[in-house]
Amino acid sequence: MQDRQRVTATTLALIHQNQVALGEAIQLISAWFQRHGVSEVTGSLQAHLELLVNNSLLINSRLAGLLEPAAAADRQPANDPG
């Protein structure tokens, strides 16, 4: 069961990394728009990026909770029931 939890947690971590990378790309696009005077787009993008950052912090916290039990199990001796 711990292997399944580890696979789930690492898969979610990879999905989250993709989400963060997309957010960073959107941030760069937003900065380009702002430099070129397209402020109506940047205001809209900033609101969505704020949501992305807030959710990212929560996801990081919850992923840490999923990954920690699996890491602790790896450190436990094989004959130690727990």
Against a cut of 0.75, is the pTM above it? no
Query: How high is the pLDDT of residue 79?
Result: 64
Query: Could you report the per-residue pLDDT of 8-60, keeping only the tens digit for each?
Result: 888 999 999 999 999 999 999 988 988 998 878 788 888 888 999 999 999 98
8 A C-beta contact, residue 42 and residue 29: no
**Domain map (residue ranges) of the chain:** 2-67
